[in-house]
Amino acid sequence: MIINDEMIKSKCNWWHESDNPERFMQISDRILPSLSIITISFLLAGLTLIWWAPEDYQQGLTVKIMFLHVPFAWLSLLCYTLMTLFSIGTLFWRHRLASIALKSTPPIGIAFTLLTLVTGALWGKPVWGTWWEWDARLTFMFILLLSYLGIFSIFQFFENAAVSVYFAAILTIVGFINIPIIQFSVKWWNTLHQPASILILGKGAPAIDSSILIPLLVMTMAFALVCFIFHLMAMRNEILRSQVIIRQRKRAQQSKKERP
């Protein structure tokens, strides 16, 4: 394949365009209303399907908790994986939007991980007979929550934005080791938590009935859209915050110069 100057130029332009907060604000402003309507439609469709979904022959009504617990667990892992990609973008390419995205993700990750643990406990009590067990999957999920809290606190405690992003990116990349451990913990250790029944690698079809699988997939899509919207909103807020800080600093410098 021949790579000419124009191809390199267009690639550079694309990269430069993708790192433009103002353009991001314009695009996100345009897509947020329609995205919200699609998300609400998915949520309503998911809740209707849950209402009509049959009860499990062993777990009874508690199976309805699965429609929340499983999407939250998947999204908490997805958020961290995305944070790792944003960290790589920040550290290696100094991409401004990647650092903004990195700073905006921890609160959303904390919410989804916390909800995974809470809904898990509420499902565990009637099914396992206990709220909490220091089981491999549960323990590593708790460590994930601590990682999110650690990264979030780095952004809160450092005054210098560049330093906080640098440390948070390093901590995120180091903490990524936890993600495959969580995913495969039910395979590697003999745990109380059930093994994978939907994403069974190398085995083909999921082990649950379509009457339960379809509402689960619809709810997963709905919460993924919720997560995406929240992330866009958080990124927009972060851009607005930085605009306020820059303008306040400029004003402070101007008033310093004007003073005799």
Using the structure block, give the residue that is written with the tokens 């495959």.
Answer: 180
By CB under 8 A, name the one of 32, 38, 45, 65 that touches other proteins. Answer: 65
C-beta of 133 vs 184, nearer to other proteins: 133
Residue 129 region by backbone torsions, left for phi larger than 0, else alpha for psi between -120 and 50, else beta: left
> From residue 208 to residue 237, what is the string marking binding to other proteins with x (rule CB under 8 A)?
------------------x---x--xx-xx
Q: Which stretch binds other proteins (CB under 8 A): 114-122, 133-141, 161-169, 182-190?
A: 114-122
Quickly list DSSP for 4-66.
-HHHHHHHHHHHHHHT-HHHHHHHHHHHHHHHHHHHHHHHHHHHHHHHHSPPBTTTBGGGGGH
> From residue 73 to residue 112, what is the string marking binding to other proteins with x (rule CB under 8 A)?
----------------------------------xx--x-
| Residue 112 beta carbon to other proteins: minimum distance, rounded to whole angstroms | 9
DSSP H helical segments within 94-209, as ranges?
A: 96-128, 136-157, 161-175, 178-188
By CB under 8 A, name the one of 125, 146, 180, 249 that touches other proteins. Answer: 125
Closest CA to 182 of 87, 73, 106, 82: 73
Q: How many CA atoms lie within 13 A of 57 on its CB side?
A: 2
Question: Should residue 149 be labelled a site residue for other proteins when binding is judged by CB under 8 A?
Answer: no
Q: Which stretch binds other proteins (CB under 8 A): 16-24, 117-125, 136-144, 202-210?
A: 117-125
Structure tokens at 75: 């999204």
The residues of the shown chain that bind other proteins, judged by CB under 8 A, are: 60-62, 64-65, 68-69, 72, 107-108, 111, 114-115, 118-119, 122-123, 125-126, 226, 230, 233-234, 236-237, 240-241, 243-244, 247-248, 251
